[in-house]
Amino acid sequence: MPVTDPYDTFTPNLTGPAVGGFDITPDDNVDLPTLPRALMVTGGGDVAVQFRDGSSLVLPGLTPGVIYPLRPVRILSSGTTATGVKGLF
């Protein structure tokens, strides 16, 4: 039976629910394939991010299952200790 979606005509936006996601492998040299609208981790720890403006920072002690509204272009392997990093869009 097909899934009924009464919201299929709505335009996705940053305040609505995620409509897709992907696994992220941290890499110091490679940008993400898609700019996410949020991140989450399945194993807690630090996540080092780089943003579109070129700034980088380490987000300490992210909690598993929490959705963090961040839009990084890259997740750096140097400084990232969290596991199971996910991008949501």
Task: Give the pLDDT confidence of 17-70 residue by residue, as tens digits.
Answer: 898 999 999 999 999 999 999 999 999 999 999 999 999 999 999 999 999 999
What amino acid is encoded at 6 in this protein? P
At 72 the pLDDT is 98
Task: Give the pLDDT confidence of 72-88 residue by residue, as tens digits.
Answer: 999 999 999 999 999 99
SS (H, E, C) the chain: CCCCCCCCCCCCCCCCCCCCEEECCCCCCCCCCCCCCEEECCECEEEEEECCCCCEEEEEEECCCCCECCCCCEEECCCCCCECCEEEC
Give residue limits of the domains in the chain.
Answer: 28-88
Q: What pTM value is reported for the model? A: 0.90
